[in-house]
């Protein structure tokens, strides 16, 4: 029994094997969908599993519980190109390998965010980590569709600024 | 002779750069009937062109030519290719600036006398003082329409200001107001009053903020004495056997090398490009760079002690609404060494939009400590620290021996290390800033690191003695009689104040001097 890979015997290991992944499901050749089926995207250059892992990684780096998966998908979709694919596949393999070192079947098989954060922390010095993290700063937060979730209103010039629309409307001070 | 001018016309004054210094100087000289060719590396953008979207505006306006940031400052780690956040456009960084227009305090003109020698610092007194500058400040404030001067009322306080004011007054601070701002509180000149739109950093779409792009430059052009050549990047200043400058070599909009003859040359390309140009103009006569017999060209780079404090509250603030920097606490701006440092600092309201907040709140950070702060973006208030940093010889702009730009010119390397005085001041300011927000009930406060530099000063400093600096009391090069420096690089020390008003006042004064000297045939 001592030789059995414990990661495959744990509940989470079995779950991960059974589901394939927790971040998203492969729903057909070249397609990957979210856990809740709220999003689905076609991939052309990277593997569907790789996209699902990237989306989870993006959420773990910049977790906002009110931002839906779609925005994280948009933020990393640009890596699905023939040019980027080798770097991404290699990076996700590194991520899965590090997850294995931490006792998980793969990155998505680490079910708690804190477990995945430990994996990411171990990779902080890697170029792959740096590329994904820094890309998200613009890739995620510069999507106008996420701004309302933070209360941010964007430009106001088209509405005449805030001079008559609450530039000094703070009432609790 | 009227604009446009021949490239062989050696009667013209050539000004390099059209920002606060160069743009003001160009108009002032043109108004006096002097022929001016202004070379501007950037294109022309006016209020209708400005984009109220942070990244799109950055792509439109920011100076993003190759540069390196090195040294111990955190900007080198976070933004190694972007030491500064300044503008490449007609109007220079007056498109981006926030409008804060405060005078130096009298003691700051004499930093060495006021503070004494500080170990590791290259402190020096300015050869001019507050009394001499007072009338030029008056003219600058009138030109720019600075609020709370000349009878002009202050701007109304926005939400971000109201939080700052409440907290600061709770701590007993008294010099708390909506600032002296070159943003109109009432219609003034040809500019309308501020519409509280935000996006001051992206160019004011109402033109309520003073910028040379739509004030000085067109006013100068109307005289027929000013020709602005856009997208022309100066690469070298040439001189004759007597050591007088004779013209400027530049790359035009098509990348073709051109030469404009000159009676005199004024360098105003901002504190990185100005010393870079002088260093790139080395010759047999000036082997260490033009006007560099002192060895001080490029040295004493200053960028103010900065940092931002954000406070998070349990209710909305919506700090982005309204004038970005119309709010100031001046009670810590004085010199009081009992605080553990020399010099002082101002605290000024500041906000970023969500995209830039994500980029600058804590560069490199990730995970929930970071994202839960952003989740409270709507409930944030922000203030910026602006304090006097120490000039240090080792903080300097040099030419990269291994990298060239799109014109084949060596790129600038900007080295900066915080002085212990800078660190002590920043820590003090963080603590005070956090206390201000705590006094209003902040549930969380964030001492945020410096952004790429917008205040860039000191690399061609003014000095009484030629061996101590690059230019004299008029901004004229000690070594070259018809070469002037007209931007913030002539600052001997940085003081605690946002520099634009002082740059403008110096430019008005310099124009007066140049006109007088030209008329007397002295230059």
The distance in angstroms from the start CA to the end CA of chain A is: 66
The distance in angstroms from the start CA to the end CA of chain B is: 19
Q: How confident is the model at residue A13 (pLDDT cuts 50, 70, 90)?
A: very low
SS (H, E, C) B323-341: CCCCCEECCCCCCCHHHCC
The tokens describing B211, both together, are 């910028």
The answer to whether B74 and B449 are in contact (CB under 8 A) is yes
Instruction: Give the distance from CA B91 to its chain's centroid.
Output: 12
pLDDT of residue A8: 38
Residues A99-120, buried b or exposed e (16+ Cβ, 10 A)? bbeeebbbbbbbeeeebbbebb
Compute the average pLDDT of residues B102-127. 98
B70 — contact with chain A (CB < 8 Å)? no
Residue B449: partners with Cβ closer than 8 Å, 6 or more residues away: B74, B78, B307, B362, B363
pLDDT of residue B295: 98
Mean pLDDT of chain A: 86
pLDDT of residue A27: 60
Query: Which chain B residue is nearest to residue A60, measuring alpha carbons?
Result: B367
pLDDT of residue A19: 38
B358 — contact with chain A (CB < 8 Å)? yes
Mean pLDDT of chain B: 98
pLDDT of residue B2: 83
Q: Do B358 and A153 touch (CB under 8 A)?
A: no
B318 — contact with chain A (CB < 8 Å)? yes
Residue B379: partners with Cβ closer than 8 Å, 6 or more residues away: B312, B313, B314, B315, B316, B317
A61 — contact with chain B (CB < 8 Å)? yes
Residue B61: partners with Cβ closer than 8 Å, 6 or more residues away: B42, B45, B50, B87, B88, B89, B95, B96, B202, B203
E strand or H helix that includes residue B512: helix B500-519
Q: Say if residue B119 is exposed, middle or buried (CB neighbours under 10 Å; 0-12, 13-18, 19+).
A: exposed
Residues A112-129: tens digit of each pLDDT: 999 999 999 999 999 999
Distance from CA of A132 to the nearest CA of B (A): 11
* Integer angstrom CA distances of residue B107 from A129, A170, B132, B261: 49, 38, 13, 41
Residues B212-246: tens digit of each pLDDT: 999 999 999 999 999 999 999 999 999 999 999 99
pLDDT of residue A35: 61
Residue B411: phi and psi, rounded to 5, are -80, 155
**CA atoms of B199 and B85, how far apart (whole Å):** 15
Is pLDDT at A9 greater than 90 in this prediction?
Answer: no
Compute the average pLDDT of residues B314-342. 98
Which residues of chain B neighbour A165 with C-beta distances below 8 Å?
321
pLDDT of residue A14: 35
**3-class DSSP state of B265:** strand
State the virtual CA torsion across B275, B277, B282, B288 in degrees, nearest 10: 10
For chains A and B, what is the number of CB pairs under 8 angstroms? Answer: 112
Which residues of chain A neighbour B322 with C-beta distances below 8 Å?
162, 167-168
Tell me the torsion sign for CA atoms B395, B422, B131, B92: positive
DSSP annotation of B188 reads B
Is pLDDT at A22 greater than 60 in this prediction?
Answer: no
CATH number belonging to domain B13-519: 3.50.50.60
**CA atoms of B318 and A172, how far apart (whole Å):** 13
The pLDDT > 70 percentage for chain B reads 100
Please count the CA atoms within 13 angstroms of the CA of B434 that sit on its side-chain side: 13
pTM: 0.94
A128 — contact with chain B (CB < 8 Å)? no
Q: How confident is the model at residue A16 (pLDDT cuts 50, 70, 90)?
A: very low
Tell me the torsion sign for CA atoms B494, B499, B503, B506: negative
Tell me the torsion sign for CA atoms B374, B378, B381, B383: positive
Residue B202: phi and psi, rounded to 5, are -100, 15
Q: Do A156 and B198 touch (CB under 8 A)?
A: yes
Residue B226: partners with Cβ closer than 8 Å, 6 or more residues away: B3, B26, B27, B29, B30, B36, B38, B217, B220
- DSSP codes of every residue in B423-450: HHHHHHHHHHHHHHHHTTT-SEEEEEPP
The answer to whether B169 and B200 are in contact (CB under 8 A) is no
pLDDT of residue A50: 95
DSSP annotation of B419 reads -
A2 vs B437, residue with greater confidence: B437
**CA atoms of B180 and B173, how far apart (whole Å):** 18
Of A60, A141, A167, the CB nearest to B159: A167
Residue B6: partners with Cβ closer than 8 Å, 6 or more residues away: none
**CA atoms of A58 and A72, how far apart (whole Å):** 6
pLDDT of residue A87: 98
Q: How confident is the model at residue A6 (pLDDT cuts 50, 70, 90)?
A: very low
* Integer angstrom CA distances of residue B153 from B169, B187, B325, B502: 21, 11, 16, 21
**CA atoms of A119 and B281, how far apart (whole Å):** 52
Residues A28-84: tens digit of each pLDDT: 667 777 665 567 788 999 999 999 999 999 999 999 999 999 999 999 999 999 999
**CA atoms of A6 and A101, how far apart (whole Å):** 12
The tokens describing A29, both together, are 């050749």
Lowest mean pLDDT among A29-33, A51-55, A139-143, B64-68: A29-33
Q: Which of B438, B413, B499, B472 is nearest to B70 (CA)?
A: B413
Is pLDDT at B95 greater than 70 in this prediction?
Answer: yes
Q: How confident is the model at residue A172 (pLDDT cuts 50, 70, 90)?
A: very high
**CA atoms of A159 and B278, how far apart (whole Å):** 47
A153 — contact with chain B (CB < 8 Å)? yes
A125 — contact with chain B (CB < 8 Å)? no
pLDDT of residue B67: 97
Q: How confident is the model at residue A15 (pLDDT cuts 50, 70, 90)?
A: very low
A4 vs A65, residue with greater confidence: A65
Distance from CA of B431 to the nearest CA of A (A): 21
Residues B432-480: tens digit of each pLDDT: 999 999 999 999 999 999 999 999 999 999 999 999 999 999 999 999 9
* Integer angstrom CA distances of residue B442 from A39, B167, B307, B316, B436: 38, 10, 18, 12, 9
The tokens describing B522, both together, are 């002295």
Residues B254-283: tens digit of each pLDDT: 999 999 999 999 999 999 999 999 999 999
Q: How confident is the model at residue A7 (pLDDT cuts 50, 70, 90)?
A: very low
DSSP annotation of B89 reads B
Of A63, A152, A156, the CB nearest to B354: A152
Is pLDDT at B250 greater than 90 in this prediction?
Answer: yes
**CA atoms of A13 and A9, how far apart (whole Å):** 6
The pLDDT > 70 percentage for chain A reads 80
B76 vs A31, residue with greater confidence: B76
Distance from CA of B441 to the nearest CA of A (A): 10
Strand duo B444-448 + B305-312: pairing = antiparallel
Lowest mean pLDDT among A26-30, A97-101, B184-188: A26-30
């Amino acid at each position: 029994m001592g030789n059995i890979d414990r990661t495959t015997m744990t509940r989470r290991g079995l779950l991960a094997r059974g589901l394939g992944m927790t971040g998203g499901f492969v729903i057909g050749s070249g397609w990957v969908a979210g856990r809740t089926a709220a999003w689905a995207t076609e991939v052309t250059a990277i593997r569907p599993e790789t996209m699902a892992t990237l989306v989870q990684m993006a959420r773990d780096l910049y977790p906002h519980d009110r931002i839906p998966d779609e925005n994280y998908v948009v933020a990393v979709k640009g890596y699905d190109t023939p040019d980027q694919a080798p770097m991404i596949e290699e990076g996700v393999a590194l991520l899965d390998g590090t997850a294995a070192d931490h006792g998980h079947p793969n990155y998505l098989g680490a079910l708690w965010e804190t477990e995945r954060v430990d994996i990411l922390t171990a990779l902080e010095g890697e170029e792959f980590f740096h590329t994904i993290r820094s890309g998200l700063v613009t890739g995620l937060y510069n999507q106008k569709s996420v701004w309302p979730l933070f209360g941010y209103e964007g430009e106001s010039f088209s509405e005449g600024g805030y001079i008559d629309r609450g530039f000094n409307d703070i009432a609790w001070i | 002779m009227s604009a446009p001018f021949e490239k062989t016309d050696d009667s013209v004054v050539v000004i390099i750069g059209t920002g606060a210094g160069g743009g003001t100087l160009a108009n002032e000289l043109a108004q006096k009937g002097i022929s001016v060719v202004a070379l501007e590396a950037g294109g022309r953008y006016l209020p209708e062109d400005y984009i109220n979207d942070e990244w799109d505006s950055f792509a439109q306006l920011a100076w993003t030519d190759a540069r390196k940031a090195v040294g111990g400052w955190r900007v080198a780690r976070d933004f190694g290719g972007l030491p500064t956040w300044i503008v490449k456009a007609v109007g220079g960084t007056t498109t981006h600036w926030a409008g804060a227009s405060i005078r130096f305090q009298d003691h700051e003109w004499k930093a060495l006398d006021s503070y004494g020698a500080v170990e590791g610092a290259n402190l020096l007194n300015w050869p001019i003082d507050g009394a001499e500058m007072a009338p030029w400040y008056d003219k600058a404030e009138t030109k720019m329409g600075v609020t709370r001067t000349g009878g002009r009322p202050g701007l109304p306080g926005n939400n971000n200001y109201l939080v700052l004011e409440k907290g600061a007054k709770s701590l007993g601070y008294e010099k708390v107001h909506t600032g002296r701002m070159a943003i109109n509180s009432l219609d003034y000149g040809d500019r309308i009053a501020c519409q509280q739109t935000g996006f001051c950093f992206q160019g004011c779409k109402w033109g309520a903020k003073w910028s040379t792009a739509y004030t000085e430059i067109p006013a100068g052009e109307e005289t027929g004495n000013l020709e602005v050549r856009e997208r022309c990047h100066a690469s070298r200043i040439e001189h004759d056997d007597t050591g007088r400058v004779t013209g400027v070599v530049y790359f035009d909009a098509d990348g073709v090398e051109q030469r404009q003859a000159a009676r005199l040359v004024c360098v105003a390309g901002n504190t990185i490009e100005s010393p870079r140009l002088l260093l790139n103009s080395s010759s047999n006569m000036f082997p260490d760079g033009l006007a560099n017999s002192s060895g001080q060209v490029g040295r004493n780079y200053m960028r103010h002690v900065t940092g931002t404090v954000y406070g998070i509250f349990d209710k909305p603030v919506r700090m982005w609404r309204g004038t970005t920097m119309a709010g100031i606490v001046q009670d810590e701006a004085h010199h009081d060494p009992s605080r553990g440092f020399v010099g002082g600092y101002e605290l000024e309201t500041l906000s970023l939009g969500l995209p830039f907040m994500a980029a600058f709140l804590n560069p490199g950070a990730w995970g929930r400590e970071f994202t839960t702060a952003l989740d409270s973006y709507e409930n944030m208030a922000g203030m910026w620290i602006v304090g006097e940093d120490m000039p240090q010889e080792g903080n300097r702009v040099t030419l990269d021996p291994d990298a060239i730009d799109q014109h084949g010119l060596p790129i600038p390397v900007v080295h900066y290390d915080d002085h212990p005085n800078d660190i002590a001041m920043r820590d003090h300011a963080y603590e005070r800033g956090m206390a201000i927000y705590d006094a209003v009930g902040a549930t969380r406060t964030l001492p945020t690191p410096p952004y790429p530099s917008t205040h860039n000063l000191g690399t061609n400093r003014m000095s009484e003695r030629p061996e101590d600096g690059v230019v004299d009391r008029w901004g004229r090069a000690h070594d070259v009689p018809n070469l002037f420096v007209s931007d913030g690089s002539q600052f001997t020390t940085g003081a605690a104040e946002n520099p634009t008003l002082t740059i403008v006042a110096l430019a008005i004064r310099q124009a007066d001097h140049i006109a007088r000297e030209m008329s007397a045939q002295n230059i």
